[in-house]
Amino acid sequence: MAEPRHILVVANETVAGKSLIGALRSRAADGPIRVTVICPQNEPRAGFVVYADSRRSSADRRLRRTLDLLHEAGIAARGAVVDPDPLQAIKDAIYEYDPDEIIISTHPGELKSSWLRANLIERARKVTDKPVDHVVVDLESPRERAHVLVLANQTVLGQPLLDAIHERAAAGPADFTLLIPADAVGAERRLKSVCSLMSQAGIEASGHLVDPDPVIAVENAIHDEKVDEIIVSTFPEATSGWLRRDVLGRIRSFDLPVTHVVVTQREAEAAEESAVA
């Protein structure tokens, strides 16, 4: 029996794109394959502080979505988050994995793709004798799963927000990314608790601590990967610092569907006590 053909996939924001997944499924239909996905990290577009863990977490999420989709299709796949320089990442991966073929996935056109502006496809073909294929992924086209951002702080464990996430999960296939500002007291504890609750409920969710400015946090997340919807959770208007600063209005300026969930102080405190207990 022939060894599976080893395909190296190089992708960043487009890594979970439908046309890339389709290209791999098509190859699998022609014969057994195994796939290694390498996913370079992004640098943030906004903010004064670079949260290294946040950048890696974004790349990890993109990679995990792709591996999940490939495994669902019966394709053996593994992956790694790698050097932000895509050409260096390709050289390293060729040396380490010795693939039979390389697929580079980009946005369509130089206007959207920094990799195309840097002539990455041609440069990659010069550093290897392996076949190099280019797959274009238009993130505006329909995808396998919607990506929903959830932005919250002290309210993240509140029952109204958990109910809203459950309702969205029941409405159709979706992955959730939970964002909590890094300067919030108890933020790491709340993040671990809510991710655990989502896992117990069978909901695909990941999360990380982000820029203290919630608008910048959302802007960076949108820059890192395609986002389809945003859920923002706050205290009621009378007690919400985010609403006083018009965080909700500024996030709506990103032209994405935004759902606003209100959690009272009492609901948030009760949820926090329950999580700690």
d(CA 52, CA 50): 6
- Check if the beta carbon of residue 51 is closer than 8 Å to that of residue 6: no
pLDDT in tens, 218-237: 998 887 777 899 999 999 99
Q: What is the pLDDT of residue 142?
A: 57
Answer whether 0.85 is exceeded by the pTM. no
pLDDT tens string 198-216: 888 888 788 888 888 999 9
CA distance 190 to 148: 19
What is the Cβ-side half-sphere exposure of residue 100, based on CA atoms within 13 angstroms? 10
pLDDT of 104-154, one tens digit each?
999 888 877 889 999 999 999 999 999 999 999 876 665 667 889 999 999
Q: What is the pLDDT of residue 53?
A: 54
Residue 192 has pLDDT above 80, yes or no: yes
Strand boundaries in 109-173, DSSP class E: 132-136, 146-151
Tell me the average pLDDT across 151-166. 95
| Average pLDDT in the chain | 87
| Interval 74-90 mean pLDDT | 89
8 beta partners = 36, 102
Q: What's the pLDDT at 1? A: 58
CA–CA distance, 161 with 159 (Å, rounded to integer): 5
Using the predicted structure, report yes or no on whether residue 52 has a pLDDT greater than 70: no
Residue pair 84/44 in contact by the 8 Å Cβ criterion: no
Strands 76-82 and 33-40: parallel
Q: In 3D, which of 87, 86, 77, 93 has the Cα closest to residue 5?
A: 77
Tokens 């238009």 correspond to 138
* 246-273 pLDDT, tens digit each: 999 999 999 999 999 999 999 998 888 8
- Structural domains of the chain sorted by starting position, each given as residue range(s) with its CATH number in brackets: 5-136 (3.40.50.620), 146-276 (3.40.50.620)
